[in-house]
Amino acid sequence: MARNFDLSVGEYYHLYNRGTEKRNIFITNSDRARFLGLLFLCNDIEPVHISNYQGSTLMDWLAWPRTGTIVDIGAYCLMPNHFHLLVKEKEENGISSFMQKVLTAYTMYFNKKNNRTGALFAGRFKARHANSDEYLKYLISYIHLNPVKMIEPKWKDVGIRNMQKARTFLEEYRFSSYAEYAGQIRPESNIIDKKTVPEYFSQKNTFKRTIRDWLTYKENPEKIHQGSTSLNTSRFNLAEQWPV
């Protein structure tokens, strides 16, 4: 699918893609760990030779020295059949180069592991320009709220049945950058650089309060303007290309 805009240096983008035919692309925790490792290793100005890291753990990968990064990763979340990234273009073609490296390396790993061939992802990665403070702040919350669907699939329509369970699940979900925004420090913190994102949530309690507000959200008449498109936030309708 062709984009109607260019990826520009200094701008933030919501990047996402799902498995071809909506198939799961992350089956085990080892799959998720591999993808996280690639988010770190492939964000380097030097070519990445994955064979150099065979037998290493995710913790080993996250401690590997890099020459210099080509994008700034502000947030991420892995779901069973898709992923979300918030990325800032740091140099020309940085995002395209980064995504090509990550998705190619992961597809090769996944296909070899599962004795399959062919494309794993549904075409090229999708990108939405976060061209306003309101939309960028909204995306950070949206990306980190995605895992709720794994335990409350219809929460956007009927609300949360067990609020404490939902909040605990988000806090303990290992495969998103929620922990970093909640003030935790862990090896996975090396994947993102929060300093490159405006300080909407400079205090961990501000972030947690915002997440709590979204979880208890019912109706809000406010609209977020993304370019010429007005995005009604009711029921978390982010006007995505396809529902995720």
The CATH code of the domain that includes 67 is: 3.30.70.1290
pTM of this structure: 0.88
Q: Which are the contacts of 70, defined by CB distance < 8 A and separation ≥ 6?
A: 43, 44, 45, 90, 91, 94, 97, 98
The per-residue pLDDT for 204 is: 74
For residue 88, tell me if it sits in a domain: yes
**Residues 169 and 106 occupy one common structural domain:** no
Q: Find the helix or strand (DSSP H, E) in which 13 lies.
A: strand 12-18
Burial class from Cβ neighbours inside 10 Å (0-12, 13-18, 19+) for residue 180 reads: buried
Whether 191 is in a domain gets the answer yes
Say if strands 229-232 and 223-226 run parallel, antiparallel, or are unpaired. antiparallel
- Helices marked H in 10-93: 29-41, 58-62
Tell me if 240 is assigned to some domain.
no
Altogether, the residues listed in the chain come to a count of 244
The residue among 129, 153, 177 that closes a domain is 129
Domain boundary among 94, 129, 164: 129
Domain that holds residue 88: 12-129
Number of domains in the chain: 2
Structural domain includes residue 1: no
b/e per residue 33-44 (b: at least 16 CB within 10 A): bbbbbbbbbbbb
> Is residue 152 domain-shared with residue 118, that is, in the same domain?
no
φ, ψ dihedrals at 217, nearest 5°: -65, 135
Collapsed DSSP state (helix, strand, coil) of residue 2? coil
Residue where a domain stops, chosen among 88, 107, 129: 129
152 and 183 belong to one structural domain? yes
Sign of the dihedral defined by the CA atoms of residues 27, 78, 87, 71, in that order? negative
Do 190 and 207 lie in one domain? The reply is: yes
The values of phi and psi at residue 124, to 5°, are: -70, 160
Q: Given this model, what pLDDT does residue 79 score? A: 97
- Per-residue pLDDT of the chain (244 residues), as tens digits, is 446 678 999 999 999 999 999 999 999 999 999 999 999 999 999 988 888 777 779 999 999 999 999 999 999 999 999 999 999 999 999 999 999 999 999 999 999 999 999 999 999 999 999 999 999 999 999 999 999 999 999 888 888 989 999 999 999 999 999 999 999 999 999 999 998 998 888 777 899 999 999 998 754 434 333 443 333 444 444 434 333 3
